[in-house]
Each structure stands twice: as C-alpha cells, then as structure tokens.
Amino acid sequence: KKDAFQTDVLVVGSGPMGATTALALATYGVRVQVVNRYNWTANTPRAHITNQRAMEVLRDLGLEDEARRRATPWEWMGDTLFTTSLAGPEIARLRTWGTGDERIGDYLQASPCPMLDLPQNKMEPMLVTHAAARGAVFSFNTEYLGHEQDADGVTVSLRDVPSGREYAVRSRYLVGADGARSKVMDDAGLELRGQLARAATAYVLFRADLSRYAAHRPSILYWIATSNAAFGEIGLGLLRAIEPWDQWIAGWGFDMEKGEPDFSPGEILKKVRILVGDPDLEIEIDNASVWYVNQAHAPVYSKGRVFCGGDAVHRHPPSSGLGSNTCMQDAFNLAWKLAFVLRGHAGTGLLDSYSLERATVGAQIVARANQSRLDYGPLNQCFREAGAEDPVAAGLARLAAPDAEGVARRAALAEALRLKNYEFNAQGVELNQRYASAAIIAEPDAGEETWRRDPQLHAQASTRPGAKLPHAWLVGSDGRRVSTLDVVGRGKFTLLTGLAGQAWKEAAAAMDLPFLRTVVIGEPGALDSYCTWHALREIEESGALLVRPDGIVAWRRHSGEGLDAAGAGVVLEAALA
C-alpha cells in the first residue's frame, strides 16, 4: 500500500553520490528523501576535478551552465608544474586535463562538455539546492542508525541530532551514499575488499594572495620537490589552487607510524613557507586535516532493496581525480533504474544491472588512482639523490649536468613525465566505460572491442551496446549546434535512427510508450550537417540504436533494410522487453 511509505527512496548522505541521486530522482519525478547527519554539505573543498563524463551528467540534469559559472575554467587547470617551490626554480611542466595542444582536439571531439575544477563545497550546494527545488526532501542533522528490509520495503531508523529523538521512516528503497565509513554498507552485509589507510596525507586549507607566483602559469596543481616535504609514495609537496589565486590547499605525505602531524599554526606556517618558497609569507589558516590512502572496493553494490554507491563502495586516493566523478556516475546509473521500476516501466530485475555495471568501473578506478601514486617513483628518481645530505638539491644538480649522466637523467625525466599522462591526460579512463549486464543486449557476433589507441589515454567513440553514445555536433531547430547527447536522455529511452529508418519510427509510434522517444537524425532538429554522426554511427542509416536514459547504448541493429513497421515493431519489442 503506497500510503505506508513516507518516501519511495531514502538516501543516506548528501555528498556527490547522494546529492546527484536525489537530483536525478527529483528530476524524474520520484519521491526522494535525503538524510545527512551534519547541518549542511561538505565544509572543505575535497574533490574538485570534474571530468567530461560527470559534466555530461550535469548537462543532462540541466546544471552544466551553473557548474561552469561556479568553477575554475578548464583553461586555467592545465599547466601542472613540478618545481622546487612556487618562487624557486622549476623542474618540469606537463600540459594536463587535455589542455595541451596535442590532446585538446581529442577532448573536444569526445564530449560537448569541458572539464572543470569545481570543489565539492561549491558542487554539493548546487546539487542540493536544485534537487530540493525539484521536490527532493532534505533532512539535515539527521543520522542514519540502521535499517531492516522486507519484501515490500525498508524500515530505516533515524535520529534527529539536536533533540536525540529516534524515529523510523518507511521507504521502498534505501541508497547508501554515506561515504568511506559507510554504515549502510556494513548493515546490508556488503563486502569490501582491499586495504584501508595504507598511507596518509596532511591537508591544510589556507588563504594568501599567491597570484604573483601562479597567474602567469595557471594551474590547479603545483607539485613541490623539496627535501622538507618528501615523505611517502608521491614524495612531493602539493599546492592546490582552490580559488585562484588566494585560496589554497597545502598537502604533504606524513609517516603514519609517528602519529598525526603537528598542526600548530607555527608549524603549518613553516611548511607553507617552504612550499611557496617565501620566508616572509603570511597566511590565514582555515582548516587542517588528514586523510588516508585507501585501496578498496566492493565487488557487489546492492542487497535486495539497498543500493550503495560512491566512496562507500570504492575507496581510493585523489590521484587521477576520479572521486566525485565516479560517485556522480554511480548515481546517474542508479537513479533512472529506480525511477523506471517505481513507475512500473521495468521489472525489478533491472536493478540488478546497477551493481554489475558499476562495480566493474569501481574496481578499475581504485586500481588506477593507486597506480597513479606509484607512478611518481620514476619522476622522483630524476631529481633526487638518495643518501645525499639534501637529496633534492643533489639530484637537481645531476639533472642539470652537461655530462652523460645529465643527458640520461633528462631522457628519463621525459619518460617519467610521459607516464604521468596516465594520471593527467587519461581521457580513456574517464570515458571508455563499457557496461555488460542484462540491461545491455550484447551483439552475439561482435567479438571483443578492438582498441585503436591506448584505451587509458584515448577515448574511443563506439555505438556498441554498453558504450556511451558518441558525441557528434548536430544542427538543432533554431540553427544552433546540439550534441547527439542532447537529443537523448532526460529520463527517457531514445530510439535513434536515420532518414532511411522510417520503419523504426513508425513501429515506435505504434508502441506509444511514455518513456520512449524517437529521434531521426536528418530530420529538422537533428540535422547531421557536419556529417560527423555519419562517420561515427557504425551502423547503416536504416539501422537503429536504443539509448538508455543515462546515454548508454542498450541495443543496436545495423540495418533496417527489408523491415516494414510491423517487422520493426517485433524487433523493437524484443529489445525493450
């Protein structure tokens, strides 16, 4: 009985996972309630790199323009610097996040969206505000205590934090978006594999106008090689621009065996002055904290009516910038499935595909982010001399030497920098996700996908079932460019065909399904004026793609030749079943 449920989906957590889930569900018209034990959203910047796939999620949900307004723009993200201090001699630079001359075209071709730098304390309020405006209910100061599920729903125990009052909410589904110490996950009995806290980093948020060191070589990451901030796997200090150029994070690895670092104002100032290279610098300290490097993932994300996502199920360091991006994509994968099942458009079996599709991605990104830390090793070797009194000064002297060893070190530096593309220009890691589940109708004879270039570095456009619909610019009804991604999504399935695919169009019209739209590329509103779609579609013009609400190709048929509307209807019905 519907009345027995106070909400259809209860979400624990309003971080990137919870807030995106709520935003998407509210957009699709689903009743959703979010609880967060704190009074508001993230109080520090945390994750910030926002990749093209996460931006596509925001574009579909109508928030791309606002994200662009709030963020540090793409062109300021790019000149990642390796230097002895901000004021001191530079060692090397890498054009990053696709901004380099040799990569920018790849990035522009693969997505209508830019990358952005949008710290979590700007992203979360945006997601939450719009979710609430679209009808999501937010209960802050509300702690999740436990849950019990039965055949019809989940009874969730909550506590109002200010009063201590405990009460229960009845929901049809529960989403555990409660982060890296997820209690929902533990309570649901989901397994986590891997290692927690295998290394540690100090993070200090401070204010100081550093524009004289940064504005002429804009970047969001400045890596500092100094013997005073050299502990750990990365072996470099970090200055990260939060609000260019007067709000920053200083980060450095510390030895966990010796306990937490000394965060007294005097010690912090000493450290920041070393990283900046200015002995007279004055700073305003906002916050100091530590975080631990995890390498763990859950092989299964759901149990019955409980679905976990985000850091609850994949725990990894910030290297590669995959944190909030992956959370938002988990949410985007899950939300439309919950909406379809709740509306009766799909059977509950659809929900099983969430874990199958996203757990594979989670395992990949946990491995990638941790490998990206290890990949600083070769770089460090180029400008460090183990055993010397000042290892960095001695190493840098060798790196600059005109002798054969200097030549060899400089060659090694080029190679070590090249390796860092797997962290900083890894468009393939971000866009080449391929799903396999019962919600994807694989082509029986398709065989394995052949990767034309390195699949970690390069995105590969494909209309194979399980891949994201390729982006191509079309011409829309008002003469402006629209992406292929803009004519699909927004909570519906899309049947995509060409002018020669009229049989599909007629068959879909006859089916008259509220969740299915048909788009004919070549008709007004979706003109392939640049012929880019023609080059990317991998099917004949009379063929068809069925694209899911999350922009993933669910099924394709290479040709519709010989099919009349009745025949096409039979094929389509099978695809939608």
* Contact residues for ligand FDA, defined by CB under 6 A: 12-18, 35-38, 44, 46-48, 120, 143-144, 177-180, 183, 203, 289, 291, 310-312, 318, 321-324, 327
Q: With contact defined as beta carbons under 8 Å apart, do 368 and 326 qualify?
A: no
> Residue 427 or residue 494: which is nearer to ligand FDA going by CB?
427
Q: How far is the CB of 175 from ligand FDA (least distance, A)?
A: 10
> Residue 203 or residue 354: which is nearer to ligand FDA going by CB?
203
| Torsion-angle region of 345 (φ positive above 0: left; ψ -120 to 50: alpha; else: beta) | alpha
Q: How far is the CB of 281 from ligand FDA (least distance, A)?
A: 23
> Residue 19 or residue 544: which is nearer to ligand FDA going by CB?
19
Write out the E strands in 396-524: 473-475, 481-483, 493-498, 516-521
Q: Which tokens hold the place of 28? A: 């699709």
Burial status of residue 517 (CB atoms within 10 A of its CB: 0-12, 13-18, 19 or more): middle
> Residue 315 or residue 384: which is nearer to ligand FDA going by CB?
315
Q: In what order do the strands lie in the sheet with 544-547?
A: 516-521, 493-498, 544-547, 553-557
The whole-angstrom separation of Cα 239 and Cα 388 is: 25
Write out the E strands in 359-499: 473-475, 481-483, 493-498
Phi, psi of 301 (to 5 degrees): -100, -10
> Residue 203 or residue 435: which is nearer to ligand FDA going by CB?
203
C-beta neighbour count of 6 within 10 angstroms: 14
Q: Which tokens hold the place of 319? A: 């290297």
Q: How far is CA 388 from CA 162, 183, 383, 412, in A?
A: 56, 47, 12, 20
The whole-angstrom separation of Cα 532 and Cα 6 is: 48
Q: How far is the CB of 251 from ligand FDA (least distance, A)?
A: 9
> Residue 180 or residue 496: which is nearer to ligand FDA going by CB?
180
Please give the helix or strand (H or E) that residue 458 lies within, else none: none
Q: How far is the CB of 65 from ligand FDA (least distance, A)?
A: 23
> Residue 117 or residue 486: which is nearer to ligand FDA going by CB?
117
Q: How far is the CB of 148 from ligand FDA (least distance, A)?
A: 16
Q: How far is the CB of 422 from ligand FDA (least distance, A)?
A: 16
> Residue 157 or residue 502: which is nearer to ligand FDA going by CB?
157
Find out whether the peptide bond into 451 is cis, omega within 30 degrees of 0: no
Q: How far is the CB of 140 from ligand FDA (least distance, A)?
A: 9
Find, among 435, 430, 560, the residue nearest to 506 by Cα: 560
Helices (H), 301-390: 323-343, 352-374, 377-382
Q: How far is the CB of 188 from ligand FDA (least distance, A)?
A: 13
> Residue 44 or residue 532: which is nearer to ligand FDA going by CB?
44
Q: How far is the CB of 149 from ligand FDA (least distance, A)?
A: 17
Tokens 């999350």 sit on residue:
550
Go through 26-40 and write b for each residue having 16 or more CB atoms within 10 A of its CB, e for each that does not: bbbebbbbbbbbeee
Q: How far is the CB of 176 from ligand FDA (least distance, A)?
A: 9
> Who contacts 502 (Cβ-Cβ below 8 Å, separation ≥6)?
520
C-beta neighbour count of 442 within 10 angstroms: 12
Q: How far is the CB of 396 from ligand FDA (least distance, A)?
A: 27
> Residue 38 or residue 167: which is nearer to ligand FDA going by CB?
38
Residue 490 β-bridge partners: none
The whole-angstrom separation of Cα 369 and Cα 324 is: 13
Q: Which tokens hold the place of 408? A: 């060899």
> Residue 295 or residue 462: which is nearer to ligand FDA going by CB?
295
> Residue 323 or residue 428: which is nearer to ligand FDA going by CB?
323
Helix (H, G, I), strand (E, B) or coil at 430: helix
The whole-angstrom separation of Cα 249 and Cα 239 is: 6
> Residue 244 or residue 498: which is nearer to ligand FDA going by CB?
244
Q: How far is the CB of 27 from ligand FDA (least distance, A)?
A: 18
Q: How far is the CB of 436 from ligand FDA (least distance, A)?
A: 24
